[in-house]
Amino acid sequence: MSIKTAPETSTGYDKSVFELLESKEHEQVIFCSDKKVGLKAIIAVHNTTLGPALGGTRMWPYKSEQEALTDVLRLARGMTYKAAVAGLNLGGGKGVIIGDPNTEKTEALFRSYGRFVEGLAGRYITAEDVGIEVRDMEWVRMETKYVTGISRALGGSGDPSSVTALGCYVGMKASAKRVFGSDSLKGKKVSIQGAGHVSTHLANYLRKEGAKIYISDLYPEKVNRIVTEAGAVPVDVDEIYDLDVDIFSPCALGGTLNSETIPRLKCPIVAGCANNQLLEEEIHGPMLIDKNILYAPDYVINAGGLINVANELEGYNRDHAHEQAMRIYDTLIDIYKLADEQGIPTYAASNELALQRLRQIGRIKSIYASKSRFSGRLGELNIGTGANRL
């Protein structure tokens, strides 16, 4: 299989699947097909040095299988870095289901997907993402225990979008502190691209602090909800890049910061909760610097959702999840300081912090430690009699 993508997409000019995996050091990709229920899905496991790969599953009407593969690989890599910088003992993975979330959801489809997740035996733990709701995850959970983001009635944490929004909100405040000298957002103009669940919560945080909010989305009904709830000003989808604002907040799909859109930006800060906002890090990160725009690395500022569902694995505590999400403020301050000290883009500084933790923990895991499951069953270690005796 070769991958051909449209101009200026990330990873993929005529690369084979294995070349794509090797280019970003992914461990595994699983293609899931169940024709009877219409399931076409891809699961990518990027790195499990720190623990099992945890990352949401999104449902989206991708234009092609190649586009879906490119997206899931980018997203899985971002989850590895996100977990590492957030200090979580988790690796990075992601799932995508090819389909329209508005018309093609069925119980059978999600339960079939759950069977594929179960087959990975814990290497990948799934959760909600774009196009997925708590109900969908509950269907997945009927077939696998490796799922988070389920309803509170079933012992989970429910929709993680409010915690994602909290992390993004405090990340905006940290960015404002760096640029304006104060982390107050009162009177600041913030344009939000995308009007999903996270944006709704984010807009309410901003409204309470007295920020002026602009909102755009492909779906007018979503925009109208935030206009009503948070007093936001509706903006045409394409015009959102041209607003003269203090903070531009990409909260939709990835790749919206590219060679066409960055020259149009009129803001000193980009801070949003979308994944993979930079279409090409090495190209578009420096472009933001050239325009004197501070970029809050996406997988750092949007880590609240991962932090929230990770807490389910240890017994969910809402206060603890919120406390961890609030630390995103300090993490971004550290990243901005490191970027200044080393003269590197902020995304490179956050990547370096993530890689440092992966290297450090990776060294520790090279030391053998006996597992309790072997206790009393040493025969499993092949230390019996005769030639196998140690």
pLDDT in tens, 285-312: 999 999 999 999 999 999 999 999 888 8
Q: Are residues 108 and 226 in the same domain?
A: no
- Quote the pLDDT of residue 23: 80
pLDDT in tens, 89-120: 999 999 999 999 999 999 999 999 999 999 99
- Look-up of token digits 């997945």: 140
- Quote the pLDDT of residue 369: 67
The pTM assigned to this predicted structure is 0.81
Our answer to whether residue 94 is catalytic in this structure is: yes
**Residue 374 reports pLDDT greater than 80:** no
DSSP 78-127: HHHHHHHHTT-S-EEEEEEEES-TTT---HHHHHHHHHHHHHTTTSEEB-
Q: Are residues 143 and 187 in the same domain?
A: no
Which CATH number belongs to the domain containing residue 88 in this structure? 3.40.50.10860
Q: Which of 15, 94, 173, 188 is catalytic?
A: 94
Q: What is the mean pLDDT of the chain?
A: 89
Residue 353 lies in a domain: no
d(C-alpha 260, C-alpha 243), whole Å: 15
Q: Are residues 138 and 237 in the same domain?
A: no
Residue 216, both tokens: 């755009």
**Residue 154 reports pLDDT greater than 80:** no
Residue 357 lies in a domain: no
Residue 80 lies in a domain: yes
**Residue 2 reports pLDDT greater than 70:** no
pLDDT in tens, 182-240: 999 999 999 999 999 999 999 999 999 999 999 999 999 999 999 999 999 999 999 99
**Residue 260 reports pLDDT greater than 90:** yes
Q: Which of 252, 342, 249, 327 is nearest to 294 (CA)?
A: 249
Q: Are residues 206 and 262 in the same domain?
A: yes
Per-residue pLDDT band for 383 (boundaries 50, 70, 90) equals very low
Domain containing residue 169: 161-309+333-339
pLDDT in tens, 42-72: 999 999 999 999 999 999 999 999 999 999 9
How many distinct structural domains can be found in the chain? 2
Q: Are residues 71 and 183 in the same domain?
A: no
Q: Which residue has the higher pLDDT, 86 or 386?
A: 86
Q: Are residues 184 and 77 in the same domain?
A: no
